[in-house]
Chains A and B, each alone.
Chain A
Amino acid sequence: MPRIFQKISMFFVLLLLTGCATTGIDSPPALQIGTALEPFEIRGVLQKDLQLGGVIRLTGDLFIPLGRSLYIAPGSRLLVVGNDSTKIDPEFLDKGTEILVKGRLAIAGRQMAPVTLSLDESTPAGENWAGIELVGAESVLLSHVDILDAEIGILSLNSSVQLVQVNILGSRYGLLMQGGGQLVYKGGRISGGDAGLLCFDRSALNLSQVSIVDNLEEGLYLARGCSLEQQDLKIERNDLGLIASETYRNGLQPSLRDNRIDFKSLPVETLP
């Protein structure tokens, strides 16, 4: 198909899909579309708000500063060029390719048009990418998204996150909440990594219809100070299913199945 027709057809598909999307961003800028032949390439500091769709190629670290917004439209494929020594100024957190967010990020997939974030085929074998890192981020909403092969699928430092139908697969850590903030996670799966969901410090988790399965180490880790509300949570076939205060043992018993050790209690603190 000639390139111009590809672009036109992609435009109309995205137009239909984006019609009613709730982005969390008041007025997204004009949609810019990449194609398999001509992906939209992005890296560096986001200098203005962007709305991207189609095939997007992340060729290096991306930093979304405070006050700026990135919106990814339904059906997009974000291909990350994995690199073990990327750096971005003014700051970076990981040596791998990362999306560092202090501003606003909305990835608005749909059931029939999910968004995938995965490694670009040019990535050297054995390398992954750092993942999405939130540092006091203003607003983060991911809907119908698959995150594949990251070091930490989503690292949230002092940030609040809304996830709807998000799968984090094959990442070393699925989701790490640290330093406070709220996670509302409705539907999805964290699977195939070392650790599933780790909550440190004092974050508040609200999980419904989430499966944390088949991770080599922990399924769900709830440090002291974290709180959990859940509905239809599954923690299955991990090494350690749930690490938490004793108070969670009974309430979460129905969620725990076929882990090597279903429950491990945080030790009672004693003075050294």
Chain B
Amino acid sequence: MRVLLIFLFLLLPVSALAIEYHGENTLYEDTVWQGEVLIDGILTIAMGATLEIRPGTRVRFTRIDSNDDGIGESEIFAQGRFIARGSKEQPVIFTSAEKNPAPGDWGALNMMMSESGENLLEHCLVEYGYRGFHSHFSIARLQASTFRYNQRGSQFQESTVAISDCDFSQNFNGLQFRDSKVLIENSRVSDNHWGIRAVYVELRMSGNRIEGNRINGISLRDSKLQLDDNLVTDNRRGIYLQRSEGKLTGNRITNNREHGIYLEDSVATVQGNLIRSNGRSGLKLLAAGGLIEHNRIEQNVEFSFYNAGDEDFNVGPNWYGSAERKPELMDGRSREGLGLLLVAPSLLRQPEVKTF
């Protein structure tokens, strides 16, 4: 009977009580949180243990900056499994415990070598961290969650991460990751400096809004990108691929301050997109290859295409606003040393762009 009571007690959520962790602590057993939690130091979830956080829980982190580097040190360090499952009405909140909170007050929700099961953040609000969500060698799903006012909304390496219906807004930088396999769907990345910045990744994105980021909306190096039905608007550059491969279909790439798409040492298939009203060129090509066809390329301020490399580039048939209208070009005809743009005749009918 006594054993049964102890067992039941362990399964009960730590409710009503405000639980506090001071200094360095480790959870070796499965643990459930519900209610108010204060973390004043580093809390580790040991390998084999699971931390489950239930709807309506608020986890606050104190600001400890022992080396005065501007980065708070209180954090959760999960080597076991981390499950934060809120609900639409009662999200789980991870925030600063400071009276006047600021980005970087606390460290991160860290997943380290946590590959035994999927880690989850669902219906969570993560704010004022250094890295809101951070992982190495882990599997994670971020769903219907908001990451705001962090130095970096999310950062991960060597991980497999699925993100859907999330919002990464007003962080210093939105998402940055490397050596990872990533899916981002129906999410918004807005008003950060860098929107999405990654190297050595396989990234699939569909149905997202990437808008108002002050540097690049999407920036990849040495990576593979599949981009379907996204809105990429009002960033400084829309999409920048360096030494990468891309397949861009059905996107609206509009009103970016500089180039809509910039391909550098990259090969891309660009089909069925609307590339419109970008501040410098619609597409800038530097040592680029691939196929550009059946797009609507209209009203870009300086040029439709800018070939900044020394090789010629074949452009397929596209629509430039009317059947008679020709694209505006910057190439070897205007500046010595640049390759030519060899442009197929314009489409006779305006193609569909099926962006969500």
Q: Mark B295-307, 1 if CB is under 8 A from A, else 0.
A: 0001101100000
**CB of A237, distance to nearest CB on chain B (Å):** 13
Interface residues on chain B, number (Cβ under 8 Å): 30
Q: Which of B251-302 contact A (CB under 8 A)?
A: 254, 257, 274, 276-277, 279-280, 298-299, 301-302
Point out the residue from B71, B104, B173, B257 that lies within 8 Å of A223, measured CB to CB.
B257
State in angstroms the CA–CA spacing of A201 and B173 once bound together: 20
Contact residues of A between 126 and 147, Cβ < 8 Å to B: 135
Interface string of A206-249 (1 = CB under 8 A from B): 00000000001010010100000000000000011001000000
Q: Which of A3-11, A33-41, A89-97, A110-118 contacts B (4 or more CB under 8 A)?
A: A89-97
CB of B130 within 8 Å of the partner chain: yes
**Is B69 within 8 A of A90, CB to CB?**
yes
A270 contact from B152, B214, B299, B335, Cβ within 8 A: B299
Residues in A whose Cβ lies below 8 Å from that of B71: 89-90
Q: Judge whether A93 and B68 touch: CB under 8 Å.
A: no
Q: Is A45 a contact of B70 with CB atoms below 8 Å?
A: yes
**B149-170 interface with A by 8 A CB criterion:** 151-152
- Cβ-based interface call for B82 (8 A): no
Instruction: Using A223-B279, A264-B302, A272-B274 as known contacts, say yes or no to A45 and B236 having CB atoms under 8 A apart.
Output: no
Q: Which B residue's beta carbon lies closest to that of A173?
A: B258
For the complex formed, measure the closest distance between the CB of A216 and the CB atoms of chain B, giving whole angstroms: 8
* A45 proximity list for chain B (CB < 8 A): 69-70
Contact among B69, B215, B335 for A89, CB-based, below 8 A: B69
Report if A266 contacts B (CB, 8 A).
Answer: yes
A91 CA / B173 CA spacing, docked (Å): 8
A239: contacting residue among B173, B214, B334, CB under 8 A: B334
- Complex interface residues of chain B between 22 and 70 (CB less than 8 A to chain A): 68-70
A91 to B193, CA, bound (A): 11
Q: Is the CB of B151 within 8 A of A267?
A: no
A240: chain B residues at CB < 8 Å are 302
Is the beta-carbon distance between A65 and B301 smaller than 8 angstroms? no
CA distance A87 to B39 in the complex (A): 28
- A243 near B301 (CB under 8 angstroms)? yes
- In the complex, chain B residues whose CB is within 8 Å of the CB of A200: 236, 257, 279
Contact assessment for B257 and A178 in the assembled complex, using a CB-CB cutoff below 8 Å: yes
Taken residue by residue from 56 to 86, chain A's Cβ proximity to chain B (1 for < 8 Å, 0 otherwise) reads as 0000000001000000000000000000000
Which one, B236, B302, B330, contacts A178 given CB within 8 A? B236
Tell me the smallest distance from the CB of A214 to a CB of chain B, in Å.
13
Bound complex: CA A223 to CA B280 (Å): 10
B172 located at the interface, meaning its Cβ lies under 8 Å from any Cβ of chain A in the complex: yes
State A218–B214 Cα separation when bound (angstroms).
Answer: 20
Chain A residues lying within 8 Å of B214, measured Cβ to Cβ, are 157, 178-179
Q: Given A90-B104, A93-B193, A178-B214, are A47 and B335 neighbors across the interface (CB < 8 Å)? A: no
- Cα–Cα distance between A266 and B280 once the two chains are bound (Å): 10
Bound Cα distance from A242 to B322, whole angstroms: 27
Are A243 and B254 in touch, CB under 8 angstroms? no
In the complex, what distance in Å separates the CA atom of A93 from the CA atom of B274?
29
- Alpha-carbon separation in the docked complex, A181 to B104 (Å): 25
* Interface presence of A121 (CB below 8 A): no
Contacting residues, chain B, for A90 (C-beta < 8 A): 69-71, 103-104, 130, 151, 172
Enumerate chain A residues within 8 angstroms of B151, measured Cβ to Cβ: 90-91
Contacts of A269 in B (CB 8 A): 277
Q: Is the CB of A93 within 8 A of B215?
A: yes
A266/B301 in contact, CB under 8 A: yes
Question: Please, which residue of chain B has its CB at the minimum distance from the CB of A240?
Answer: B302
* Nearest-neighbor residue (CB-CB) of A93 within chain B: B193
Please measure, in the bound complex, the distance between the C-alpha atom of A168 and the C-alpha atom of B227, giving whole angstroms.
38
A-facing residues in B301-356 (Cβ within 8 Å)? 301-302, 330, 334-335
Contact between B301 and A239, CB atoms less than 8 A apart:
no
Q: A259 to B36: give the CA distance in the assembly, Å.
A: 65
- The answer for the CA separation of A52 and B193 in the assembled complex, in Å, is 30
B68 partner residues in chain A, CB cutoff 8 A: 47
* Contact code string A94-124 (vs B, CB < 8 Å = 1, else 0): 0000000000000000000000000000000
Bound form: Cα–Cα A264–B300 in Å: 12
- 0/1 per residue, A165-203, Cβ < 8 Å to B? 000000000000011000000000000000000001100
**CB pair B130 A267 closer than 8 Å:** no
Residue of B nearest to A178 (CB): B214
Pair B276/A272 contact, Cβ less than 8 Å? yes
Residues of chain A in range 245-272 having any CB-CB distance to chain B below 8 Å: 260, 264, 266-267, 269-270, 272
Q: How far is the CB of B305 from chain A (nearest CB, A)?
A: 14
B254 contacts A272, C-beta separation under 8 Å: yes
Given contacts A223-B257, A260-B334, A272-B274, contact A65 B70 (CB under 8 A): yes
Q: Which residues of A contact B (CB under 8 A)?
A: 45, 47, 65, 89-91, 93, 135, 157, 178-179, 200-201, 216, 218, 221, 223, 239-240, 243, 260, 264, 266-267, 269-270, 272
Which positions in B face A, CB cutoff 8 Å?
68-71, 103-104, 130, 151-152, 172-173, 193-194, 214-215, 236, 254, 257, 274, 276-277, 279-280, 298-299, 301-302, 330, 334-335
Given A47-B68, A89-B130, A157-B214, 5 more pairs with CB closer than 8 A = A90-B69, A90-B151, A260-B334, A272-B276, A272-B298
**What are 15 pairs between A and B in contact, CB < 8 Å?**
A45-B69, A47-B68, A90-B103, A90-B130, A91-B172, A93-B193, A93-B215, A157-B214, A178-B236, A201-B257, A216-B335, A221-B280, A260-B335, A267-B299, A272-B298
State the 9 A-B residue pairs at the shortest beta-carbon distance, nearest first: A200-B257, A90-B70, A267-B299, A91-B172, A90-B104, A90-B151, A90-B71, A91-B151, A157-B214
